[in-house]
């Protein structure tokens, strides 16, 4: 699949500079940025869901000092 993006002259210069700095094509720079953003949002969503499950379970956390004490550290 291919697509086009309209960029201002300044945006294009920034993209070109970034791609050159990382020795990649402009297309690869966009793909990398897109997939990093998708992964970041996915990780945030999974983390929020896991935290909500923890809260809903009613479990409570304990201070790390209790763990150390239990392990005789």
Q: Where are the domains of the chain?
A: 9-70
Q: What tens digit of pLDDT does each residue of 33-66 get?
A: 999 999 999 999 999 999 999 999 998 888 999 9
Q: How many Å apart are CA 12 and CA 32, to the nearest integer?
A: 16
Q: How many Å apart are CA 28 and CA 14, to the nearest integer?
A: 14
Q: Is the pLDDT of residue 16 over 90?
A: yes
pTM above 0.85, yes or no: no
1: confidence class by pLDDT, cuts 50, 70, 90 = confident
Q: How many Å apart are CA 50 and CA 41, to the nearest integer?
A: 14
């Amino acid at each position: 699949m291919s697509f086009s993006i309209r960029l201002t002259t300044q945006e294009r210069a920034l993209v070109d500079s970034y791609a050159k700095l990382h020795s990649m094509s402009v297309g690869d720079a966009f793909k990398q940025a897109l997939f990093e953003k998708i992964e970041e949002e996915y990780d945030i969503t999974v983390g929020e869901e896991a935290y909500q499950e923890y809260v809903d379970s009613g479990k409570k956390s304990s201070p790390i000092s209790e763990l150390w004490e239990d392990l005789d550290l």
